[in-house]
Structure 1
Amino acid sequence: MEKLIRVPGFSLRQLLYFVTVAETGTLTEAAARLHISQSAVSMALNELERTLKVQLCIRRKAHGITLTPAGKQALQQMRALLRQAEELESGVSGEGDQLSGRLSVGCYLTLAPTVLPPLLQGFSALHPALTLDFEEDTGDRLQQRLLDGELDLAVLYDMDVRPEMDRAVLFTRRPHLLLPADHRLAGEPSVALHDLADEPLVLFDAPPSSHHTLQLFQTAGVTPLVRHRTTNFETARALVGRGLGYAISVQRLPNDRTYEGSRVVSKEITELPETTVSVLLCWPRQVAQTRRASEFVRYCLENKPRA
């Protein structure tokens, strides 16, 4: 005899209210986003905590809400349940291969300008009923947001990727040097890091790129003179363009001009001729992919983006 499935004592609406409160940080903002009264949100939270027999958040006047450890753990599971419920609704009511609902994709900062636009345009054209959102962030934060259920997928460099992630390789690139166009070595086909050891380095300091860059120097046996640090890729290029240093980049842009119009040149690294870095599409291994996410993965693999 099959075991009867017990109907949970909470509703999807209550889960939605709690997730919205967790994302907005206050009952007032959550109520505004949900277009309901603050008292309705508060009552739903009370009922949810009573049903689950656990305190999910601490409410402080003028300071918003703070999730308890139990609330943080439950948040990820609630997001997954809401996605599955949305998937069930769209799967039952949808027609043919048409996708609907919402898909959230994250992308590493420097990859976003060249990788995201063609993927968003192409996939959205195939599935106009789907809402495709994107977020740009550093590699470590994107992975945490995947594990927290804030994102469905993320485009990352294959650097410091957590073991909890499943992945598909989109393409590979070789790291290269960025030099000002009037640099003494600008005419060379490749440049050795040893020849730049006494010159200032402009370090792109957004994890995991900074760690990977310093590893490349270690592999080459060179200690760089880090003069400037920036979390903005275009700022790094602008500093190089003005002759304030050189940089290492994996991203290759079709435009060799900075925002100011200065020209920079790309050069292969003599000591690292075989070094490559893969660009990945990642998702949490323990979370079942929605049909929206799996179709996006398939589309990306069939339409390899250029970096």
Structure 2
Amino acid sequence: MPLRFTLRQLEYFVAAGKAGSIAAASQRINVSSPSISTAIAQLEAQFGIQLFVRQHAQGLALTPGGRRFFHEAKLLLDAAEALHDLAGDIADQARGPINVGCFVTLAPLVMTALRRDFELSHPEARVGQVEGSQEELLDMLRRAEIDLAITYDLELPREVIFEPLARLPPCVMLAPGHRFAGRAGVSLEELAGEPMVLLDLPLSREYFLSLFQTAGLRPRIAERTRDLAVLRSLVASGYGYALINVRARNSMASDGSPLELLRLEGDFRPMTIGLATMRADRITRIVAAFQAHCRERISAAGIPGMAEL
């Protein structure tokens, strides 16, 4: 009996099953909602079964039969992906899709350069990228939505393997008009009484605050933001200093206002940038190739998009 369904239809169905709604699946795989709806309807018509219960308020819910179908469809897609790996082994090439997550503050500096160079050296690779906080990246790894994450050594669970690549010590960002501007470095004791702009991301926030706690100090937090670009603008406008680990080569805020970076004096635990994968995952050829690419580009000698302090 000839097959009357496609792997693409299965891919759209599995995406909808994972996301729990057509709209969320559309955003996740960058395919229009009508295309996903049509694929699901075609599968239901072909096999004569109902795969989802449509719930207007809560999106989609798999039927009991749909859950069994979802499991087998995912196995089939995994097997098809394994054929890509086998073809790569035979041709001695890394090919096929890879989904990479990147910590949100690292992504604008690091991810684009890494991706472009990798795609140029591996023309049959298809790199998808997504940005998120540490918690979001770990959740995406658990749900197999990404193959690996470029992130920090923050609160990593036991099921995650982390390969360290480079250490990023904390440094101080401030406006040229700040009273500490022009110095080579400044101590945490000197900063404690100054207004601070806090990067208010989960785990990052705790890391920066722990520096003060370890030193027996309490920061004077004047502003909070989850967005690095907003943080740079607030600092440039004189709302306070900020502690950061990423060091952009561009020493200006988004509006063109200048910024300065100073060394934070003292012995403080740096953040470590590296690669996170799930312990139980099989490392495919394409993932192994991307890991090797990251090891070549990210090291103590330099990090793409970052300046030396």
TM-score under structure 1 normalisation?
0.81
- The Cα RMSD (Å) is 3.3
Structure 1 letter corresponding to 2:147: D
CA distance in 1, matches of 2:181, 2:264: 13
Residue 210 of structure 2 corresponds to residue 219 of structure 1? no
CA distance in 2, matches of 1:186, 1:31: 52
Corresponding position of 1:25: 21
Residue 283 of structure 2 corresponds to residue 289 of structure 1? yes
Mean CA deviation greater in 171-180 or 161-170? 161-170
Structure 1 letter corresponding to 2:165: L
Corresponding position of 2:100: 105
1:209 to 190, 204, 207: 204
Mean CA deviation greater in 151-160 or 193-202? 193-202
Given the superposition, is the C-alpha separation of residues 269 and 97 from structure 1 closer, same or farther in structure 2, using an over 3 Å criterion?
same
Give unmatched runs, 5+ long, in structure 2: 1-5, 27-31
1:161 match: secondary structure: coil
2:91 match: secondary structure: coil
1:167 to 162, 169, 175: 162
Corresponding position of 1:141: 136
1:264 is displaced (CA, Å) by 1.5
1:259 match: secondary structure: coil
Structure 2 letter corresponding to 1:32: P
Give unmatched runs, 5+ long, in structure 1: 1-10, 50-56
Identity %: 31
Given the superposition, is the C-alpha separation of residues 74 and 216 from structure 1 closer, same or farther in structure 2, using an over 3 Å criterion?
farther
Given the superposition, is the C-alpha separation of residues 41 and 72 from structure 1 closer, same or farther in structure 2, using an over 3 Å criterion?
closer
**Counterpart contact for 2:95–2:122, Cα < 8 Å:** yes
**Counterpart contact for 1:170–1:278, Cα < 8 Å:** yes
Given the superposition, is the C-alpha separation of residues 130 and 80 from structure 1 closer, same or farther in structure 2, using an over 3 Å criterion?
farther
**Counterpart contact for 2:165–2:274, Cα < 8 Å:** yes
Show the 5 A alignment for 1:1-307: 16-22=11-17, 23=19, 25-26=21-22, 32-34=34-36, 36-42=38-44, 58-61=53-56, 63-66=58-61, 82-92=77-87, 96-270=91-265, 272-304=266-298, 305-306=303-304, 307=306
1:106 match: secondary structure: strand
1:223 is displaced (CA, Å) by 0.6
Structure 2 letter corresponding to 1:92: A
Mean CA deviation greater in 179-188 or 149-158? 179-188
Aligned length: 289
Q: Could you give the per-residue CA deviations for residues 127-151 of structure 1, whole angstroms, max 9, x where no partner exists?
A: 1121111001111101100110100
TM-score under structure 2 normalisation?
0.81
1:14 is displaced (CA, Å) by 8.0
Structure 1 letter corresponding to 2:173: L
